[in-house]
Amino acid sequence: MSAEPVELSVAKARDHFSDAVNRAAFGGEVTYVTRGRTHERAAAIVPIELVEAYEDLIDREDGRIAQQRWEEIRAGRAEPVPADDVARELDL
């Protein structure tokens, strides 16, 4: 992974997209895509390993939370909530 992230405006990122992707894939470089007059970071082009590690972290955390919740329900410290109730509450 390169030490210094690069920042490109949306227009420059579009013009140099292939280069940014190659630098991420082969050099581990992170390129932040910025927008507006303040050059606010809006997106990033990152090595796939970062995304896969993030997804793995989320999956493990979801599993930990589910296991904790299941233990709370089995111990009588929490009540299960029907999926229909959750969907209704979230307007799904």
pTM: 0.73
Compute the mean pLDDT over every residue in the chain, rounded to the nearest whole number.
94
What pLDDT digit, counting tens, does each position of 38-72 carry? 999 999 999 999 999 999 999 999 999 999 999 99
pLDDT for position 5: 79
Q: Helix, strand or coil for residue 42?
A: strand
Q: How confident is the model at residue 85 (pLDDT cuts 50, 70, 90)?
A: very high
Judging by DSSP bridges, how do beta strands 40-45 and 31-35 pair with one another?
A: antiparallel
Q: Which amino acid is at 23?
A: R
Beta-carbon contacts of 17 under 8 Å, excluding residues fewer than 6 positions away, are: 45
Beta-carbon contacts of 48 under 8 Å, excluding residues fewer than 6 positions away, are: 24, 25
pLDDT for position 64: 97
pLDDT for position 4: 78
